[in-house]
């Protein structure tokens, strides 16, 4: 297969899409405006589950379940290939004082997921650092988190081992090279790059890029801020989530607390207000964090999309143009399935799940209407 594919964007979706396509033998060029893996994929928390999986459509659920089952294998494969461990860390997840607990339990029964209500005494025994004042809890075993910066490093390293892959960083894509209704490459700050196929995996920037073709893709940046604490390795044995905020333990004792959801365009400057709000949340959840140093505070831009359903597949009426973008809050969660599905479609293989809910076609036209 001598075809060249250009992948625009080197976040988790772009890198893993490129890896899946390159493994099949094609030539792949990844073009990234900044440094690979330095935007939303780096900034997220890395919980391998939507925050409230029962509140999503079956389309998101299908991708999430496939990815959750695949993540341990992906972590092992990348560690073996690159000697970089993405640290897929199964801790389980406690949701505290859910307003829609009945819906959550009904969803779990329907989908066969191990979510159950547990007495608070059991939660406090399992998570001694948990603060007082919480009245109800549900727990799902087996939920993992992935150390996303390490995952991105491992994906980059795996790609660099392949002779049929080029990664070009610090090279913004400004538009597309077209011949009639066909996309035959991209325009970049380093000149034109020709290809048989172009995959847009540019996260929050995907909408702006497609606008250069007159296409309206409803993907826009949604800012999220996080803080990172350093604690003892056994301080938090499980992830906890209350009032839309969460604490995630890493194996070495780092604790991430997030996150805000702000509609402020492409501004990703961390703010003092968010820092104070996240600290307050952190101390409510885990009072001992009042004395823990904040190691880092940062912001990223999620690719917001209606209902959080990503766009995966070929663009009708524009030959050669493919999308894998608009994952909103769940790019890391949905990446393995999204990238496998895209590769299946591009390589004419039997798709892992029904591709129809993600097809850009009618959804792009609706956005234009």
Q: What is the pLDDT of residues 275-317, one digit of tens each?
A: 999 999 999 999 999 999 999 999 999 999 999 999 999 999 9
Mean pLDDT of the 142-149 span:
96
DSSP track, 170-190: S--EEEEEEETTEEEEEEETT
User: Boundaries of CATH 3.30.9.10 in the chain?
Assistant: 93-141+221-304
Q: Does 131 score more than 90 pLDDT?
A: yes
Q: Has residue 58 got a pLDDT over 90?
A: yes
4-45+150-219+307-368: CATH, from 3.20.20.70, 3.50.50.60, 3.90.79.10, 3.90.180.10? 3.50.50.60
CATH code, residues 93-141+221-304: 3.30.9.10
Question: What confidence tens digit (pLDDT) does each residue in 65-107 have?
Answer: 999 999 999 999 999 999 999 999 999 999 999 999 999 999 9
Q: What is the mean pLDDT of residues 117-124?
A: 97
Q: Considering all CA atoms of the chain, what is the largest pairwise distance in Å, rounded to the nearest integer?
A: 66
Full DSSP string of 85-136:
----EE--EEEES-TTHHHHHHHHHHHT--EEEE-HHHHHHH-TTPPS----
**pLDDT tens digit sequence for 314-358:** 999 999 999 999 999 999 999 999 999 999 999 999 999 999 999
| Rounded (10°) angle between helices 148-160 and 58-82 | 60
How many other CB atoms are there within 10 angstroms of residue 81's CB atom? 14
How large is the average pLDDT for residues 122-137? 97
Instruction: List the one residue out of 356, 265, 245, 247 whose CA is nearest residue 311.
Output: 356
Give this prediction's pTM: 0.96
According to the model, what pLDDT value does residue 1 have?
Answer: 45
Residue 369's pLDDT band, with cuts at 50, 70 and 90, is low
> Could you give the residue range(s) of every CATH 3.50.50.60 domain in the chain?
4-45+150-219+307-368
Q: Tokens at residue 228, please?
A: 């990172």
Query: What number is the average pLDDT over the span 27-45?
Result: 96
């Amino acid at each position: 297969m001598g075809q060249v594919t250009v992948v625009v964007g080197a976040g988790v979706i772009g890198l893993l899409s490129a890896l899946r396509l390159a493994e099949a033998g094609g030539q792949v060029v990844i073009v990234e405006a900044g440094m690979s893996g330095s935007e939303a994929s780096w900034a997220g928390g890395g919980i391998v589950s939507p925050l409230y999986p029962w509140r999503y459509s079956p389309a998101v659920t299908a991708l999430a379940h496939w990815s959750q089952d695949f993540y341990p294998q992906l972590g092992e494969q990348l560690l073996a290939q690159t000697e970089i461990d993405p640290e897929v860390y199964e801790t389980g997840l406690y949701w505290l004082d859910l307003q829609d607990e009945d819906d959550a339990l009904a969803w779990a029964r329907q989908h066969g997921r191990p979510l159950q209500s547990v007495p608070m005494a059991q939660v406090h025994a399992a998570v001694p650092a948990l603060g007082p004042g919480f009245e109800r809890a549900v727990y799902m075993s087996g939920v993992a988190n992935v150390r996303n910066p390490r995952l991105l490093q491992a994906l980059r390293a795996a790609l660099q081992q392949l002779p049929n892959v080029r990664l070009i960083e610090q090279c913004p894509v400004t538009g597309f090279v077209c011949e009639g209704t066909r996309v035959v490459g991209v325009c970049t700050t380093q000149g034109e790059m020709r290809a048989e196929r172009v995959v847009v995996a540019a996260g929050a920037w995907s909408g702006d890029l497609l606008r250069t073709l007159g296409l309206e893709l409803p993907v826009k940046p949604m800012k999220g801020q996080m803080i990172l604490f350093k604690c003892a390795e056994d301080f938090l044995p499980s992830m906890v989530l209350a009032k839309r905020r969460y604490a995630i333990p890493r194996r070495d004792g780092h604790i991430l607390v997030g996150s805000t959801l702000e509609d402020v365009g492409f501004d990703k400057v961390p703010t003092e207000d968010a820092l104070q709000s996240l600290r307050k949340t952190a101390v409510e959840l885990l009072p001992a964090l009042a004395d823990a140093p904040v190691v880092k505070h940062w912001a990223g831009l999620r690719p917001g999309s209606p209902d959080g359903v990503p766009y995966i597949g070929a663009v009708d009426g524009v030959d050669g143009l493919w999308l894998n973008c608009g994952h909103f809050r769940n790019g890391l969660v949905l990446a393995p399935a999204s990238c496998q599905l895209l590769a299946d479609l591009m390589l004419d293989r039997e798709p892992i799940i029904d591709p129809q809910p993600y097809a850009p076609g009618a959804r792009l036209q609706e956005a234009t209407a």
